Amino acid sequence: MELKSVKEIPKLKNKRVLLRLDLDVSVGSDGFIDDCEDARIKSALPSIEFLIKKNARITIVGHMGRPGGRVNGSLVLLPVVKRMATLLGESMNSKTSIEKTRLNDFDAYSLIIESSRMKIDVLENIRFFPGETRNHANLASKLATLADVYVNDAFAVSHRAHASINAITKKLPPYAGIQLIKEVKNLGKVLKRPPRPLTLIMGGVKAETKLKLIEKFLPRSDYVLLGSALANNFYSELGFEIGNSRLSLGVGSIVKRLISNPAYTILGDVGKNILINPDEVANPDIKTIKSLRKRIILPPDVVLGEMHDNKRLENNIRLPRRTVLVRADNPEISPHPYSILDIGSVTVSLYKEIIKHSKTIIWNGPMGMFENEQYDYGTYQIAKSVAESKGRAIIGGGDTVTAVESDRIDFSRNTFISTGGGAMLEFLINPNLPGISPLIKKTTA
Ligand code: 3PG
């Protein structure tokens, strides 16, 4: 798949470029984005710096969160613009400043690189407009008034048919940004007949998106390893008590379908097709690992604790951390008010062994509440074994990338860290995403 690159835009000098980025990053409670959370902003720098060098006039469009078409004060892009100003200032060796501005129908920020007086405009969160997620042509037309060409460097949101991703490509000549091209090239390597066994590791939140992707991915997966909030829905559906643990609503039917999927029906002695008996896998050998092929595996043990942010936990520990085995004959995994916050050590050694025997690994979503160091062990161990694995690995999803960046693990050249979560998995299932198809070069055969 060859895309029209930003580097092929003719006569960039003074050309107005609408640059779509994925600015959906976590903002700390102090209103700042720290250097473990800014991977998506950093990944956009090569395109921005290229356009600056060519003296193009840049207007950036991005989103944060899911504000549902309404202005939401907690999802404004000012923290992102500040972080971008710092990063660009460092790379351009210049002071930067920020001013609020308005561009036609849009509230915006001007980021000024003081040494050159170069100005980059960043529109306020585009999802404040209802037309964005409806892929509305009117919103795309309004955006088009701001530019001469369009560049998509927002791989992580390219699976969405949204106005600034898809409809806009009918209004302005579309091109692909530098990071997006890198994503397509690297993910393309596992598209066709990836070496098996292929292991899919899924955790984190956004269950409604991930469960659909797991279902689509089953036929090409040998092992599906679950963790974090994603696993809770399965425990709950199987009748376990999960206390105060996070649960996604409205996903019951897909969880039921996955539990009863005939291609994956392998019964342990526990009588439930996706539960693994912890005693059987405590020290897994290759025979055990092979016998688990074609299974969706729920953690056989989990760590419980109290859901708190770091600070409150330090000051007020009421429920100390403890590990429990998940057994079919004990319906209470997590009594109230405990929450499941990490995978346990039996799960870690089982998952590590499966990862070791995998030739392709696709990982999306942390294994627990890694932001709190009491519960980061599972995620860290999985990251370490993915880094040590000889197979080709792809890691994606905002939280997963934050987790591996904050652990400072050295990944080999066999690992590609994608900026996309859902987009990465959708791309691997079908690369013709709404934001990518319009960028494909037409062959003249
Ligand atoms: C992401 O965070 O994966 C992207 O920004 C897409 O977000 P969405 O799932 O809210 O569309």
pLDDT at 410: 79
What's the gap in Å between 216 CA and the centre of ligand 1?
Answer: 19
Distance CA 252, CA 258 (A): 10
pLDDT at 269: 34
What's the gap in Å between 207 CA and the centre of ligand 1?
Answer: 12
- The model carries a pTM of 0.85
Q: Is the CB of 156 under 6 A from ligand 1?
A: yes
The residues pairing with 97 across neighbouring beta strands, listed in sequence order, are 112
Where b means 16+ CB within 10 Å and e means fewer, 173-202 reads: ebbbbbbbbbbbeebeebeeebeebbbbbb
Report the nearest-CA residue for atom 3 of ligand 1: 421
Take residue 61 and report the two structure tokens written for it: 């469009």
pLDDT at 266: 36
Indicate which atom in ligand 1 lies nearest the CA of residue 423.
3
pLDDT at 315: 53
Residue numbers in the chain where pLDDT is lower than 50: 265-272, 310-313
Please report, for the chain, the start and end positions of each structural domain, with discontinuous segments joined by +.
6-181, 189-429
pLDDT at 275: 66
Which CATH superfamily is 189-429 part of? Phosphoglycerate kinase, N-terminal domain (3.40.50.1260)
Q: Is the CB of 421 under 6 A from ligand 1?
A: yes
Beta strand extents in 166-300 (DSSP E only):
174-176, 198-202, 223-226, 295-297
What's the gap in Å between 21 CA and the centre of ligand 1?
Answer: 12
Using an 8 Å Cβ cutoff, are 56 and 186 in contact?
A: no
pLDDT at 114: 94
pLDDT at 94: 95
Span 129-143, pLDDT tens digits: 999 999 999 999 999
What's the gap in Å between 159 CA and the centre of ligand 1?
Answer: 9
Indicate which atom in ligand 1 lies nearest the CA of residue 397.
3
Would residue 397 be called left, alpha or beta, if left means φ above 0 and alpha means ψ between -120 and 50 degrees? left
Residue 132 — φ and ψ, nearest 5°? -65, -60
The residues pairing with 322 across neighbouring beta strands, listed in sequence order, are 304
Which are the contacts of 408, defined by CB distance < 8 A and separation ≥ 6?
Answer: none
Distance CA 61, CA 125 (A): 8
Q: Is the CB of 22 under 6 A from ligand 1?
A: yes
Regarding the domain delimited by 6-181, which CATH topology (the fold level of the hierarchy) does it fall under?
A: Rossmann fold (3.40.50)
Report the nearest-CA residue for atom 9 of ligand 1: 422
What's the gap in Å between 65 CA and the centre of ligand 1?
Answer: 7
Span 173-193, pLDDT tens digits: 999 999 999 999 999 988 778
Span 83-119, pLDDT tens digits: 999 999 999 999 999 999 999 999 999 999 999 999 9
Q: How buried is residue 92: exposed, middle or buried, by Cβ count under 10 Å (0-12/13-18/19+)?
A: middle
